[in-house]
A and B are shown apart, each in its own frame.
Chain A
Amino acid sequence: MKIGIPRALYFYVYYPMWYGFFSSLGHEIKLSVPTNKEIINLGVSHSVDDICISVKVFHGHVKYLLDKKDVDFVFVPRIASEEKYKYTCPKLAALPDLMKSAFVSDTNRILTATFYTRQGEKPIVKAFEEIERQLGDSDEKIKMAVKMGIRYQKLAVKSLRSGHTFLDVVKNIRDLDSLIKKPVQKQRYTVALAGFPYDVYDTFTNGDVISKLEDSGVGIVTTDMLDPKVYKHYSKYMIKDLFWYQANAAAKGGMYYIDSPDIDGVISISSFNCGISSIYQKLLDLYSKEIGKPVMHIIVDEQTGDAGLATRIEAFIDLIRVKRGDGLVAQTNNLHGTEDGVHVRSL
């Protein structure tokens, strides 16, 4: 059978698990194309107007896959909880219901299961059994497949911890072992990206912040590369843990990067009208005020003007350089030959 997986939302966290599961069952996986203008337009026209852009984009990806007639099922998981007593945003918890009410004619092609992750293997097995009932595979095969899924997810987490981005993981999904061994090149400047994985890695929606930074010779780290253990102690500063795993990761991970000396600045990326990010962004703001490290917030929406974002990132890089005492742009690197060395990058 051909399973369509939308390249949005929790794809950027659990794709290895789903890849391992479906491929070892012998199903063909059809990924939707990386987000583009058409997908955003599809999503905007199929969702209500005041939902956040990430969910709108998800609508677009699902519609794209539903339009492909050879895709038998589109996989829309309900990630209910990502840690014990920590849940996800209401919109994500209601995701299959949203899809069913948005695409009324295709409700039976939506494959769904409720996942409770990071709470041992039992709930994951249960979720996959729910899928099995809809697909009709045998029990023994499922057991193997779940094991494969969990193995892939563990490898992916390992490669994230070793400093590779999730985009690298998706690219090298067939050979994660060699990706883990591959060292990450260290740059002179490092910027941390704090935010939900689906905002940080969706390169079209966020104006390709990652490659804009890498082009300018800045290395990046993201909050999902961190082990949750290292930022546990920030709960005290936050008074009360946030209710959402990803928001906790973004807030505490951001604070951890603000504190760590080898990070030059933190950029937080969130989508327009995402309610949760408004909380962690305020927390990062207040914390950076105390510590004194630059923090910039980028809020993305369906308008895809690139020039403004490029200017902001260049200004941020200049700020980092000045803070390090390197001046704006060193004369030796001044390719543009401007007198004051102002960094004018051709796009």
Chain B
Amino acid sequence: MSHKRITYTVPRMGYTYAAFESFFQILGYDVIIPEPTNTETIKEGVSNSPEYMCFPFKILLGQFERVLEQNPDRYFKMVSLESYGPCRFGYYSPLYYKILKDKGFTNFEVVNVEGIYPPLYRGIPRFFKKLIKLTGWHTPWTVVKAFVIAGWKVYATEQLEKKLYYLIPREKVSGSTERIFNGAIEKIRHAPNKVKTIKKILNEELEKMDKNPHVERDDLPKIGLVGEAYILMDYGNNLDIEKKLAYMGVDVDRSLRVTNWTLDRLIKTKYHKAHMLEVNKGYLDFFIGGDGQESIMNTILYKKNGYDGVIQAQPFGCLPETAAKEILTKVSEDYDIPVLSLAFDEQTGEAGFVTRLEAFVDMIKSRRQIKADEKREESVTVKS
């Protein structure tokens, strides 16, 4: 162990960094959160990772490398939350370690936390060993408290986000809700570590956003977002797709959030799997890892809930999502719902991306118009 000060660094994912930060602060460690994904981090990551590795890996490697470069006087524990499954996500931490060692960094270690995987007699001890390596020795009460506070912060940011994307297409002064939202996120981030205060701040901020002048309407086109979790949940990686769609006047919903992801994957696993198999019947009834099955399930569910279109966001060459993409073409035909697949990689230009989104939104609006006209004609004929 080095004499340098131990600092934790975690992957930045959307607005949830606030939760991770307070988790480690409660345990009494320093935390450094990487900067949001930008050209610098992407450049750094791309130049050091294997060419066809998935885009999230490149981003994360870039983020970690920037953090190590900027703080040579600290000893880092890099937290990598991963799973062990058919997706490449399970092999991130050994590659971080090998690549960063090869680059000449010494002031770090990688702490990977993964689920329990078979054989169980090895899996369960391994899981607890990793957990202790992550948190260090603390009283169970502190660890539980840290988890609860982190969970509440994640929940609060998600509620705020939901409200934001609901209000943007309805607000009277463009950009006014976003300003309130940015302030609210900062407040949640720096909130004292008490559940009561977090709740209070959340309610206050939600009220403030609600009071922002807006027009209630329910005739907006609705688009659902499915795809790979990390691309979907981090606004830096998906070029702010949700905000862009919201400003185009679309009711946008994201299928994967940290809360429902944890609930489905870690707590209600059995129910989730059974539900998925039932919905996906005839399309994909086999576990392929990642979020491939979820993408197909959510597309079907969006159609059933009356959405007008679905956008699938995936990193270029993602293994489960490419498989899902091919099956989604059939789902799209069978269920009559437009699906746009967007692959993100280091060369994604913003202008071309916006054009594609606009074209998709226009198409959906005109489809709605056509359907509304047909309905009106039908009712006219019935009357005459």
Q: Which residues of A contact B (CB under 8 A)?
A: 47-48, 50-51, 78, 80, 85, 87-91, 93-94, 97-98, 100-102, 104, 114, 238-240, 242-244, 272-279, 281-283, 286, 289, 299
Q: Which residues of B contact A (CB under 8 A)?
A: 49-54, 84-88, 90-91, 93-95, 97-99, 102, 117-119, 283-290, 292, 316-320, 322-323, 325-327, 329-330, 343
B52 x A278 contact (CB < 8 A): yes
Bound complex: CA A282 to CA B103 (Å): 14
B322 x A48 contact (CB < 8 A): yes
| CB contact under 8 A between A243 and B98, given known A89-B319, A93-B287 | no
Instruction: Return 13 A-B CB contacts under 8 Å, by A number.
Output: A87-B85, A91-B319, A93-B288, A94-B284, A94-B288, A97-B286, A97-B327, A98-B323, A101-B283, A243-B86, A273-B317, A279-B50, A282-B49
A94 x B323 contact (CB < 8 A): yes
Min CB–CB distance B9 → chain A (angstroms): 20
A residues in contact with B90, CB < 8 Å: 240, 243
| CB contact under 8 A between A87 and B86, given known A93-B287, A94-B327, A238-B94 | yes
Min CB–CB distance A87 → chain B (angstroms): 5
| CB contact under 8 A between A243 and B322, given known A273-B317, A275-B317 | no
A93 x B86 contact (CB < 8 A): yes
A residues in contact with B327, CB < 8 Å: 94, 97-98, 101
B residues in contact with A273, CB < 8 Å: 52, 317
A98 x B326 contact (CB < 8 A): yes
A277 x B52 contact (CB < 8 A): yes
| CB contact under 8 A between A239 and B85, given known A50-B322, A104-B330 | no
B84 x A243 contact (CB < 8 A): yes
8 closest Cβ pairs, A-B complex: A101-B330, A90-B288, A278-B52, A239-B94, A278-B50, A282-B50, A94-B323, A90-B320
A275 x B318 contact (CB < 8 A): yes
B residues in contact with A238, CB < 8 Å: 94
A275 x B88 contact (CB < 8 A): yes
| CB contact under 8 A between A274 and B52, given known A47-B326, A91-B323, A101-B330 | yes
Bound complex: CA A98 to CA B87 (Å): 17
| CB contact under 8 A between A94 and B99, given known A85-B119, A101-B329, A275-B88 | no
Min CB–CB distance B254 → chain A (angstroms): 22
Bound complex: CA A1 to CA B8 (Å): 63
Bound complex: CA A98 to CA B328 (Å): 10
Bound complex: CA A278 to CA B323 (Å): 18
Q: Which of A90, A114, A277, A299 contacts B323 (CB 8 A)?
A: A90
Bound complex: CA A243 to CA B85 (Å): 6
Using A85-B118, A275-B317 as known contacts, list a sample of 10 further A-B pairs with CB atoms less than 8 Å apart, ordered by residue number in A. A87-B85, A90-B86, A90-B319, A101-B283, A101-B326, A275-B319, A278-B52, A279-B50, A281-B50, A286-B98
Bound complex: CA A219 to CA B59 (Å): 41
Q: Which of A97, A240, A278 contacts B53 (CB 8 A)?
A: A278
Q: Which of B84, B94, B326 contacts A48 (CB 8 A)?
A: B326
Bound complex: CA A7 to CA B319 (Å): 22
| CB contact under 8 A between A282 and B99, given known A51-B326, A101-B329 | yes
Nearest to B314 among chain A residues (CB) is A50
A residues in contact with B290, CB < 8 Å: 90
Q: Which of B98, B283, B325, B343 contacts A97 (CB 8 A)?
A: B283
| CB contact under 8 A between A89 and B95, given known A48-B329, A97-B284, A101-B283 | no
B97 x A239 contact (CB < 8 A): yes
Min CB–CB distance B89 → chain A (angstroms): 10
Bound complex: CA A281 to CA B91 (Å): 13
B323 x A275 contact (CB < 8 A): no
Bound complex: CA A50 to CA B344 (Å): 12
Bound complex: CA A311 to CA B118 (Å): 47
A residues in contact with B283, CB < 8 Å: 97, 101
| CB contact under 8 A between A278 and B330, given known A91-B322, A97-B283, A243-B84 | no
Bound complex: CA A143 to CA B171 (Å): 70
Min CB–CB distance B236 → chain A (angstroms): 22
Nearest to B99 among chain A residues (CB) is A282
A residues in contact with B95, CB < 8 Å: 279, 282
A residues in contact with B91, CB < 8 Å: 240, 242-243, 279
Bound complex: CA A339 to CA B98 (Å): 45
Bound complex: CA A102 to CA B319 (Å): 17
B residues in contact with A93, CB < 8 Å: 86, 286-288
